[in-house]
Structure 1
Amino acid sequence: MRPFAIAGIQMKISAVNSNVELMKLKLDITMSLYPWVEMVVFSELCGHGPLTHTASAIPGNFEQEMQAMAKKHGIWLLPGSIFEKSEGHIYNTATVINPRGEVVTRYRKMFPFYPYEVGVTSGEDFCVFDVPGVARFGISICYDMWFPETVRTLAVMGAEVILHPTMTGTIDRDIELSIVRAMAAVNQCYFFDVNGLESGGSGRSVVCGPDGRVIYQAEGNEEIFPIELNIERVKRSRELGVLRLGQPLKSFRDHIVQFGIYQHGVELPYLNSLGPLIKPTKMDTLAKLKIQEHEHEKAHPSDPAGYKGFTNH
């Protein structure tokens, strides 16, 4: 396998105006400065911003403009994501385009940031694609990585590089940086996380290698960061171990057990007891909810949380 150069573009995102022309300008600048770059990745919801009223059909104008840019520069392109309108639903969808300007695959975010990403429907399919002669890539978007099963599934499907557009402007960004390192290490892969700025996030994009070490971390300003990946490091890690120590993918392969929590229809009493997925509210309201739950428990001792029959799907 040969080295492969990916550039992340961390740019300011407007929630009011289209960002497409600025994306095209940034892409032109990137390829002028770094003509050796072979793939470019933007942040989540980069094209039209974070508001669902911008949702549009895919394929559509945004995708077509990005196809033209990929073909113009002869690069692989992941132009972040946009809200997709389809059959009465809204999805958070990313498109992968090859150097000929062809759409290779699309990925719908599997875990919208509930209860905050209101009105967005979950995708159902994992997404990997091959860059011939280079590596297999997997797509993950923002909150997806908080669920280790998603990245593990991509690794089991053969992904050696995880491309991860994100839009995080909240105070949990430090936690996410730790998650990126952990996901890279336990799945022995590269993890390429690209965040936006202003309405698109707080920056600090990060790239980690298959040993979980940080290769590069951006700051809170606009940046173009081209990184040449040595895909052979993934193969070596998976064959010989993280830092020549643990071999988590092999151990997972050799000791696969039936995890009961994942069985369809199984009752999960503790998780059910946590209550519905809602935004936190004022403490007095929460106290009232607790009182109501306590009263329900006294009236229905066999169903302590008031969610009998609820199962995890």
Structure 2
Amino acid sequence: MSDNIFTLAGLQLNLSANTDNFEHIEAQVMAAKRRYPHLQMVVIPELATFGPAPRYAAQLPCKTDKKFQQLARDAGVWLCNGSLFERDGDHIYNTSSVYNPQGEVVCRHRKLYPFLPYEEGISAGTDAQVFTIPGVATFGVSICYDLWFPETTRSLVWQGAEVILHPTLTNTIDRDTELAIARASAATNQAYVVSVNAAATIGVGRSIIAGPGGEVIHQAGDQHEMILIDLDLNYLRRVRENGWHSLGQPLKSFRDAAHSFPQYQAQRSASLDALGPLAKPKTS
């Protein structure tokens, strides 16, 4: 393939909660590579291996991490493992890892915004992580609820990201809202957003790949689906240079603006403080 066309597959997988899904994941990754020999990257859903079960948390690198390294080598692809719960001292993080085709870890991203108040006992990461595939593009990693905070995507793009890999595990009615956020994030940051959710029943599916104008390249249903797309990096760079259909150029406007935003200057907000504690709703 051309250096400016990069072929990626999002695997919207049928998964079991609270059990080891690795063999199923392995089979699906290898099946994707056999079917599409030109495939260069595979992205799987958040917490795909064990589901949302912190009891499987382990210090990285761990046995499962090494199995993913071997899978990337065997398939000869860049592989985003969705995420695993990572134990680090007294903390548990929701951590996504990316491996190159040689099985080397090139990126680990700890979820910046655990889904509080429901994702209890999970610590927040502190850094937005990117990695570069030489001659192709820079990729950023964002996990599920991270995308709800526009600052996370902007921080990845500020570091050069052109493609946002977004593994998610959503089984609630707000997936429709997440689709809107994915498209808006793509448009306002002139980036590809690859949001890969688990299929029914552990998730609601509806994975989406949005282009740098916010356009829907593909939106899945709720069942198992292998989503193969070609990322056209020349197209993305034309959009950033001239605007989508020669319209707005938001990254340049953001770069060139002279003003600053007080909410990013470590100032407290009386209106936000008045919202009260972050806690589960109680019966009225």
Shorter chain as normaliser: what TM range? Answer: over 0.9
Q: What amino acid does structure 1 have at the position aligned with 2:101?
A: P
Partners of 1:16 and 1:262 lie apart in 2 by 39
CA contact (8 A) 1:9 1:225 kept: yes
Q: Cα offset for 1:36?
A: 1.0
CA contact (8 A) 1:50 1:200 kept: no
Aligned residue runs from structure 1 range 49-128, under 5 A: 49-128=51-130
Residue 161 (str. 1) matches residue 163 (str. 2): yes
Aligned residue runs from structure 1 range 7-18, under 5 A: 7-18=9-20
Partners of 1:31 and 1:203 lie apart in 2 by 22
Structure 2 residue matching 1:15: 3-state secondary structure: coil
Aligned with residue 150 of structure 1, among 132, 152, 177? 152
Deviations 1:267-289 (A, max 9, x none): 31100111000111111xxxxxx
Hey, what does 1:179 align to over in structure 2?
181
Instruction: Compute the TM-score of the two structures, normalised by the length of structure 2.
Output: 0.97
Hey, what does 1:215 align to over in structure 2?
217
Deviations 1:229-254 (A, max 9, x none): 10111111111012211110000000
Partners of 2:97 and 2:216 lie apart in 1 by 26
CA contact (8 A) 1:76 1:99 kept: yes
CA contact (8 A) 2:18 2:52 kept: no
Deviations 1:46-97 (A, max 9, x none): 0111111111111001110111111112110001101101111000001110
Aligned residue runs from structure 1 range 141-290, under 5 A: 141-198=143-200, 200-264=202-266, 266-283=267-284
- Unaligned 5+ residue runs, structure 1? 284-313
RMSD of aligned alpha carbons: 1.0
Partners of 1:195 and 1:218 lie apart in 2 by 9
Partners of 1:147 and 1:52 lie apart in 2 by 24
- Unaligned 5+ residue runs, structure 2? none
After TM superposition, the runs of 4+ consecutive aligned structure 1 residues lying more than 6 A away are: none
Structure 1 residue matching 2:147: 3-state secondary structure: helix
Q: Considering only CA atoms, is the larger Rg found in Structure 1 or Structure 2? A: 1
Partners of 1:148 and 1:53 lie apart in 2 by 31
Q: Percent identity?
A: 48
After superposition, the Cα gap between the structure-2 partners of 1:106 and 1:199, relative to the gap in structure 1 and judged at 3 Å, is: farther
Aligned length: 282
With 191-200 and 173-182 compared, the bigger mean Cα shift is at: 191-200
Q: What amino acid does structure 2 have at the position aligned with 1:269?
A: A
Q: Cα offset for 1:34?
A: 1.0
